[in-house]
């Protein structure tokens, strides 16, 4: 019997009622904030550094919806018989949810006030206290996520393909969070203005090789003239979603293509994708660190990316050819147990 979408979902634990509840509460809150921020993008004309004040809350909300839902699902797959790991996972997931709500709430409040949430050195009382809470919250998010990564990797809560996706995706998410610490480590001071034209001093910037602001890509706002650490940060945080989505696509496609049904070929394809994502993350981080925009064509960075992509494509091609040949190869006829016993008896009698 071929797998259906419903059976695939049931086999992979896709039942939100069983997912980590505090994380799902956070996801619900973030989804609501995303709707509010989307409305703000449309009706609120205030801008900071050429961007809508609501762009950052919108991006944060969408990001936390995706990552929080992924963690909630993965935690639901932990072995219930291993109580210590389950408790650690539950409490770290809860800490991640609470800290995430507090941090993103500060981002949204600052947007509503028309000022900066990140690197804001304004001595005004609310901002000063909020900055302290926000900075400690980032550390809390990183530590909670790091423990969750370790627990999930040790437990291996899933099929070989899902475990492979976690082996690559979760450490890259942690690495993406490390980039967030680099965002605050510039040591430079920048004089800018808020949405009302009031002067604000920023203690750091997302960009490398240029002051905050300037032209950026639509929606995401990544700099088109300088290096931008938000690029590897974003990519690292969401590789896990790309790999898990690929796992789901391969499982669904296996109902139509018999050569995809063995777990081994799906695991190989996820491994190749994970290696490619790891290489691209490192290249994006290097590109941002040397002050190059993500849209800039550089012989070293672009050449390495093209070479990595070409090698990955060759690996995928070889894996697919081997899987198709294996599926098409004739199998030896199966012999029943009774027939085997009779054959043995006949041989002995003779």
Q: Judge whether residue 343 has pLDDT over 70.
A: no
Q: Judge whether residue 280 has pLDDT over 80.
A: yes
Q: What is the spatial distance between Cα 154 and Cα 295, in angstroms, rounded to a whole number?
A: 38
Token duo for residue 197: 């034209």
Better-scored residue on pLDDT, 146 or 338 = 146
Q: Confirm if 111 and 36 have CB atoms less than 8 A apart.
A: no
H or E element in which residue 227 lies: strand 227-228
Q: Judge whether residue 2 has pLDDT over 60.
A: no
Q: Judge whether residue 225 has pLDDT over 50.
A: yes
DSSP string, 275-336: HHHHHHHHHHHHHHHTT--TT---HHHHHHHHHHHHHHHHHHHHHHHHHHHHHHSPPPPP--
Q: Judge whether residue 6 has pLDDT over 50.
A: no
At residue 191, the pLDDT reads: 81
Residue 194: band (very low, low, confident or very high) from pLDDT cuts 50, 70, 90: confident
What pTM was estimated for this model as a whole?
0.78
At residue 153, the pLDDT reads: 80
**Span(s) in the chain for CATH 1.20.120:** 17-157
At residue 5, the pLDDT reads: 45
Residue 224: band (very low, low, confident or very high) from pLDDT cuts 50, 70, 90: confident
Q: What is the spatial distance between Cα 87 and Cα 80, in angstroms, rounded to a whole number?
A: 10
Q: Judge whether residue 211 has pLDDT over 80.
A: no
At residue 273, the pLDDT reads: 96
Residue 152: band (very low, low, confident or very high) from pLDDT cuts 50, 70, 90: confident
At residue 141, the pLDDT reads: 84
Q: Averaging pLDDT over each range in 81-90, 217-226, 255-264, 276-285, which range is the top one?
A: 276-285
Q: Judge whether residue 264 has pLDDT over 80.
A: yes
Q: Smallest Cα–Cα separation from 229: which of 313, 119, 341, 77?
A: 119
Q: What is the CATH number of domain 17-157?
A: 1.20.120
Could you tell me the sign of the dihedral formed by the alpha carbons of 104, 90, 270, 11, in that order? Answer: negative
Q: What is the spatial distance between Cα 305 and Cα 298, in angstroms, rounded to a whole number?
A: 10
Which whole number is the average pLDDT over 293-322?
A: 93
Q: What is the spatial distance between Cα 7 and Cα 235, in angstroms, rounded to a whole number?
A: 31
Looking at the chain, the whole-number percentage of residues with pLDDT higher than 90 is 40
Q: Report how far Cα 237 is from the mean position of its chain's Cα atoms.
A: 4
Q: Give me the chain's average pLDDT, please.
A: 84
Better-scored residue on pLDDT, 199 or 315 = 315
At residue 210, the pLDDT reads: 77
Which whole number is the average pLDDT over 116-121?
A: 83
At residue 1, the pLDDT reads: 45
Find where tokens 């530590």 sit.
143
- Which pLDDT tens digit goes with each residue over 21-74? 999 999 999 999 999 999 999 999 999 888 899 999 999 999 999 999 988 988
Phi, psi at residue 201, to the nearest 5°?
A: -100, 125
Q: What is the spatial distance between Cα 17 and Cα 12, in angstroms, rounded to a whole number?
A: 14
């Amino acid at each position: 019997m071929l797998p259906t979408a419903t059976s695939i979902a049931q086999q992979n634990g896709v039942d939100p009622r069983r997912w980590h509840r505090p994380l799902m509460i956070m996801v619900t809150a973030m989804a609501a904030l995303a709707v509010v921020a989307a409305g703000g993008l449309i009706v609120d004309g205030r801008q900071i550094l050429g961007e809508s004040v609501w762009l950052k809350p919108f991006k944060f909300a969408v990001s936390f919806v995706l990552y929080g839902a992924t963690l909630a699902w993965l935690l639901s797959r932990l072995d219930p018989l291993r109580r210590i790991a389950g408790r650690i996972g539950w409490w770290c997931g809860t800490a991640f949810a609470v800290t995430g709500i507090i941090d993103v709430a500060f981002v949204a409040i600052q947007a509503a006030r028309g000022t900066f949430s990140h690197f804001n050195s304004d001595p005004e009382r609310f901002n000063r206290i909020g900055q302290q809470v926000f900075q400690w919250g980032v550390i809390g998010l990183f530590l909670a996520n790091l423990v969750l990564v370790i627990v999930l990797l040790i437990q291996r809560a899933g099929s070989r393909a899902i475990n492979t996706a976690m082996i690559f995706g979760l450490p890259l998410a942690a690495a993406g969070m490390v980039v967030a610490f680099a965002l605050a480590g510039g040591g430079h001071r920048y004089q800018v203005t808020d949405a009302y034209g009031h002067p604000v001093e920023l203690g750091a910037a997302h960009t490398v090789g240029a002051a905050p602001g300037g032209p950026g890509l639509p929606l995401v706002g990544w700099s088109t003239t300088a290096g931008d650490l938000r690029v590897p940060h974003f990519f690292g945080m969401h590789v896990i979603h790309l790999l898990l989505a690929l796992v789901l696509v391969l499982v669904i496609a296996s109902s139509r293509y018999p050569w995809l049904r063995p777990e081994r070929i799906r695991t190989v394809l996820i491994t190749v994708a994970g290696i490619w994502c790891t290489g691209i993350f490192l290249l994006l981080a290097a590109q941002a660190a040397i002050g190059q925009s993500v849209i800039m064509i550089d012989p070293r960075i672009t050449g390495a990316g093209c070479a990595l992509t070409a090698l990955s494509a060759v690996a995928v091609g070889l894996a697919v050819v081997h899987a198709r040949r294996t599926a098409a190869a004739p199998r030896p006829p199966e012999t029943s147990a009774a027939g085997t016993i009779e054959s043995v008896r006949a041989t002995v009698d003779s």
